[in-house]
Amino acid sequence: MVKALERIDNRLRWIDQTRLPAVVDYKESDDYFEIIRAIKRLEIRGAPAIGIAAAYGLAVAVERAKIYNPDFIRKVGSEFKNARPTAVNLSWAVDRVLARLNDSEGNPISDAQPLWEEAEEIHREDEQMCEKIGANGAELIEDGSTILTHCNAGALATGGIGTALGVIYTCRNQGKNIKVYVDETRPLLQGARLTAWELMHEKIDTTLICDNTAGMLMRQGKIDCVIVGADRIARNGDIANKIGTYPVAVLAREHDVPFYVAAPASTFDDNIKTGDDITIEERAPEEVTRGFGRATAPDDTKVYSPAFDITPHNLISQYITDSGNKPGGREQS
């Protein structure tokens, strides 16, 4: 199984996901600015993975600067939080590492070791979380099922086997015959570049489709369920996930296809009442007009490019979590 990121000595190593699938390029750095840039540029992406990267990044910053002043460390933490504001795992991981600024006796830290330990524990827990989500989600999937997924919620997006794709891998490991349709996921093609590459690497029966093909497949009765991840889940169950998730959920309800959301407990944010309160990151217009360096629209075209959309809880059949499966707000037929 591919590893999205890992600690190498006092450096962070990651796959540059902007270069997949053409090039598998591993980068290493002990410069926290470079790790922040990697998160912003989507070299490191996926809600759990960017949380893990930020946790390691705090340890990297302190290790290199040899500064143990809490104000400095909190400043670095704020910089990581601002890198991508929508995914709650990022701020959750930063806050958890910041809680280690004092030792067990209440004394200020005198080296970076406690931060490294906390980051490694977050990474281990994420790996275990993925295994639990995979096992819980597999209970919902019958042998011979055909699954549709949107964006990438696999090993590339987490510290383990993934959330949505973790369910698929677990089904495969159980001997179930599973087929997967993968939305390309415009405009950055995370489905085409990342999910299709990852599933094919694992020898999963995979078919890539344009985003606007999902409805036709559902109408033809070719999709048994949809499984997606989530970057933040509000108190009422609304989710923020990659742009294009909402219309897939609407189509799934229209065609009586179960719509599952696979996400860890850390993605649930009780401080956010509904999806309307979630900050939605907007991306640079060039990602739409000059995708991957080639002009696909006039340069002066007005562009609206949110990175995420909100799927209301009443379109969700079940939440697949590391603590069990929980019913969504969608009425079951």
Q: Determine how many CB atoms are found less than 10 A away from the CB of residue 319.
A: 24
CA dist 169 and 310 (Å) reads 27
Residue 315 in tokens: 């379109």
Helix/strand/coil (H/E/C) assignment for every residue in 20-89:
CCCCCCEEEECCHHHHHHHHHCCCCCCHHHHHHHHHHHHHHHHHHHCCCCHHHHHHHHHHHHHHCCCCHH
CA dist 247 and 232 (Å) reads 18
Residues 6 or more apart whose Cβ sits within 8 Å of residue 139: 325
Amino acid symbol at 207: T
Active-site position among 231, 269, 309, 322: 231
Does residue 224 have an active-site annotation?
no
Amino acid symbol at 135: A
Active site residues: 231
